[in-house]
Amino acid sequence: MYPHERSLVKKFSNRPFAIIGVNSDTSKIELKKAIAKEKITWRSFFDGGVIGGPIATQWGVRGWPTLYVIDHKGVIRFKDRRGEELESAIDKLVAEAEAAAK
């Protein structure tokens, strides 16, 4: 998963795109180790060290990883897309954000 996320960060650099992670590792120390090991360059929030942490609970996450693709207005437009479907969804929303900015 992380290699694909890194490729998305590279592909969409300098465009209206961001990845935000929510991590359920058992401690902040484990989160820091995972960030270093996986070369995670995007913001990743610690969700309390439990699978049912406050962020996961509020967002209704029941499985990991859960992916939400959110548009430039903050609306969830896609959930749990993978591979080409994920990239197509991101392409569409980045184009919409760029058009709205003109």
**pTM for this prediction:** 0.84
Residue type at position 8: L
Q: Which residues pair with 78 in a beta bridge?
A: 69
29: how many CB neighbours lie within 10 A of its CB?
A: 10
Instruction: Please say if the pLDDT value at position 62 is more than 90.
Output: no
Q: How far from chain centre, in Å, is Cα 53?
A: 17
Helix, strand or coil for residue 32? helix
**Which domains, from first to last, does the chain contain?**
2-96 (3.40.30.10)
Q: Name the pLDDT band for 14 (thresholds 50, 70, 90).
A: very high
Q: Name the pLDDT band for 52 (thresholds 50, 70, 90).
A: confident
Question: What is the per-residue pLDDT across 21-35, written as a single tens digit (0 to 9) for each?
Answer: 999 889 999 999 999
Residues 61, 5, 45, 23, CA torsion sign: positive
